[in-house]
Structure 1
């Protein structure tokens, strides 16, 4: 099993974003059931965000409530929280003052119900040398506020620079059959070189690879995916061809396309020079959590078939809207 901040974690983790960051979040009862189920199935690496929801109801508030009700679960969970944005803004600030503010705010909301195992800035601040950001979090580790440092959506160069300053616990990236860029841009290689586990967010392609989204009309009003280039009406059907091919393979194996997608991500872990990879699918419904936690074995023939599917599939559109694209796989100015 993977090791993170000295703790053993399950081969599949759990993403909390959808529990608080959507137009109509699920009820606390529904969220708690999903969280409890994830933990019971071995998904004890949880990933949330200070900005996943409004300042009064984000991941941290939900976690406070959950661990108040289930205090016995607090020590079972390895918690990774993204922060580092300016208060009330989707703007980057990796400087010392704001990183400390963000960590202190996370701890304030958790209110002692759970430790902050890993803290990571959500994106790399191009105006602040990553060395300063990492040194600040490292100081907070010495002060007992945090246990480990994470990086998110960073370049291979950022990983190497950060690792020279302090041990990096995890690097969080988007990685799925729908987003394979880290295999070619040096990020996976840099993680492997430094023995850093790679946390794969959106392993289900923001739900697209489950086959549950048949058209743009299936997305609810206010859903951020409505603004994603890959979900736009003019490219949707072309992108759906990949899912239809996965559905054929899933039908032959007696599983779901989403299970194939997660299994493929896990099959890359530690193989052929790759780092350990921990996918963190998010789900708000208990039945979806149970589906995501089923381990599907992919044979050499299955992997060859998926390789064929990927070679023939053309994914159209960027991972994020153009306004956000410049901070993906980011690097900072030199120290």
Structure 2
């Protein structure tokens, strides 16, 4: 795959990354179905074979289990991978999430050392603040992250789920390379709020997580019972009640476009994000799907294609909340 520039600080990556969250248990159970370590590691290796060496993880996934799995997968080949991880959900010394967000200087130092140990590396390529700590000025947080860059423990800095004001304030302290947020045909809030305009103005890239709408845009989920009993998507408002069936109707219209192009709905959704100029990091833990996802990076969409897709789900379309009320407290848009 042809590499693309991420931000303006010198980092180059493939046009598509691999979201690793679902490869391990977390948040009280399985994520997107049962995890299988052997298959997950095979998926990471197959992604690398196809040029997909940009892996996205976080300390809260597990906690720590996801970073530890990646360490196993990349052992002996660290230099071939570009690793992104995140801190910010406070995790105590008993490896339990406290429910708070922590962006203090002392906590950042503690968090990065834990992640380095769990990843089995002495540097992290891309390090994000996962969620904003509103009790700590963003200037303090980013200054501490800048110190980690000077120490060589991280190479590039990013934020996740933050508004334009926070991005501008942070960027003045140390240049940001990327901002990560949920973005897909189903979720365009950051576009509506002008955050994408801010990123473009400052030369910061968007890393789009859940570009396939947490798998919903692949078109295989047609009724609530299609989610496994412990699948956390069952508890997301976007996929509950009447909104679920409204969203199924939209997905089926997108599916018609994919069929015409002889590609999958998921590939179409990924190709749309890339055509918009952003880097998607679809998550999967299966070889079959990582092959399908990476193939989407070679799909070219015309402006007419984009217009057609965006006429199905116009900007401003109500598709439902992407987290429950408690979880949305951490999204500072």
SS of equivalent to 2:172: helix
How far residue 178 of structure 1 moved from its aligned partner, in angstroms, is 0.4
CA distance in 2 between partners of 1:217 and 1:7 (Å): 43
How far residue 302 of structure 1 moved from its aligned partner, in angstroms, is 1.6
- Counterpart residue number, 1:110: 119
How far residue 234 of structure 1 moved from its aligned partner, in angstroms, is 2.8
CA distance in 1 between partners of 2:165 and 2:63 (Å): 33
How far residue 187 of structure 1 moved from its aligned partner, in angstroms, is 1.2
CA distance in 2 between partners of 1:312 and 1:122 (Å): 26
TM-score by length of 1: 0.90
What is the root-mean-square deviation of aligned Cα atoms in Å?
A: 1.7
What are structure 1's unaligned runs of at least 5 residues? 270-276, 331-335
Q: Does 1:81 align with 2:85?
A: yes
CA distance in 1 between partners of 2:319 and 2:169 (Å): 32
- Counterpart residue number, 2:108: 99
How far residue 299 of structure 1 moved from its aligned partner, in angstroms, is 2.3
Q: Does 1:17 align with 2:18?
A: no
Q: Does 1:191 align with 2:191?
A: no
1:65 to 48, 63, 72: 72
- Counterpart residue number, 2:294: 293
Kept in 1: contact 2:20–2:56 (CA 8 A): yes
TM-score by length of 2: 0.90
Deviations 1:169-224 (A, max 9, x none): 21101100000111121211111111111100000000000012111111112222
Kept in 2: contact 1:12–1:42 (CA 8 A): no
Aligned residues: 317
Kept in 2: contact 1:239–1:314 (CA 8 A): no
1:168 to 176, 197, 203: 176
SS of equivalent to 1:147: strand
What are structure 2's unaligned runs of at least 5 residues? none
- Counterpart residue number, 1:6: 10
How far residue 305 of structure 1 moved from its aligned partner, in angstroms, is 1.2
Change over 3 Å in CA distance of 1:111–1:253 after alignment to 2? closer
Deviations 1:277-331 (A, max 9, x none): 110001111111111111222123322211211139943321111112232135x
1:327 to 309, 317, 330: 330
Q: Does 1:30 align with 2:39?
A: yes
Kept in 2: contact 1:7–1:78 (CA 8 A): no
CA distance in 2 between partners of 1:261 and 1:176 (Å): 7
- Counterpart residue number, 2:143: 135
